[in-house]
Amino acid sequence: MEDFIEELKRKIIDTLELADLRPEDIPTDGVLIGSELGLDSIDVLELVMMIEKDYGVKIENREVGARVFGSVRSLAVYIDGHCRRAGK
């Protein structure tokens, strides 16, 4: 799981063009959106697209999104769980 979290952080940096951030700058359990990282609802939707494309996991509405994007760990757990369920 820790490797997957690291992978997700790199993808977050690439997808959102956070050029001046390194993976260790993103907290694993801290708040991801609305924190000093400067990420907002559009970034969430951009990540929704990346997750569907790269992992085949859909996050189709904002209510689910709000829960899943609580932290990088919650995101990793959600993706991991759905990949397993789909046998991917």
Partner 1 sequence: MKGIRAFVCGAGVVNAAGIGLEKTWEALRNEESCLKPLSIFAVSHVPAPPAGEIGEALPLNGAVPRTHSLALLAAREALSAASLLPDAIVLGGTTGGISTTETLLESGETRPDTYRYHALGSVATYLARHLKCQGPVIAVSTACSSGTAALKIALEMIRRGQARIVLAGGADALSRLTYYGFHSLQLIDPAGARPFDLQRRGLTVAEGAAFLLLVGAEEPPEGALAELVGAGLSCDAHHPAAPHPEGAGARAAMQKALSDAGMTVGEVDYINLHGTGTVDNDRAEARAIRDLFEDPPPLSSIKGIFGHALGAAGAIEAVASVLCIARGFVPANVGCSVPDTGLGLQPLLHGQSGKIGAVLSNSFGFGGNNAALVLADPSRLAETFEKCPHAVIPAKAGIQKALNLLDSRLHGNDKLDHSGEIQRSFSGNGGQRKIMQFSVLGTACLTGAGSTDETLGTFRRGGALRGRPDLGTIRTDLSAASLRRLRRLSRMTLILAREAQKAAGMAETAGSPGGIYFGTGWGPLTETSDFLDQLFASAGQFTSPTDFIGSVHNAPASQAAIRLKATGPNITATGGDYSFEQALLSAALITKEGDDPVLVIAADEHHDRLSPRLDPFSAADGGAAFFLRPLASATGLRLVPAFLSYVPEGEDGIPPLIEALGGSGRICKRFGAVFAGIPASTRARGEACVASFLRRTGFTGVIFDYRCVTGEFSGASAIAAVLAVDVVSRGVFPPHLSGKGKAALEGKGILLLGLGEYVTAIEVIQ
Q: Contact at 8 Å (CB) between 70 and 44?
A: no
For residues 59 and 73, which CB has a smaller minimum distance to partner 1 in the complex?
A: 59
Closest to 32 in 3D by CA, of 64, 62, 74, 82: 74
For residues 29 and 66, which CB has a smaller minimum distance to partner 1 in the complex?
A: 66
Q: Is 20 in the site for partner 1 (CB under 8 A)?
A: yes
In the complex, minimum distance from the CB of residue 24 to partner 1, in angstroms, rounded to a whole number = 18
Closest to 72 in 3D by CA, of 41, 52, 44, 38: 44
3 class by beta-carbon count within 10 Å (0-12 exposed, 13-18 middle, 19+ buried): exposed
Q: Which stretch binds partner 1 (CB under 8 A): 5-13, 27-35, 61-69, 73-81?
A: 61-69
Q: Is 32 in the site for partner 1 (CB under 8 A)?
A: no
Contact footprint for partner 1 (CB under 8 A): 16-20, 38, 40-42, 45-46, 48-49, 52-53, 60-62, 65
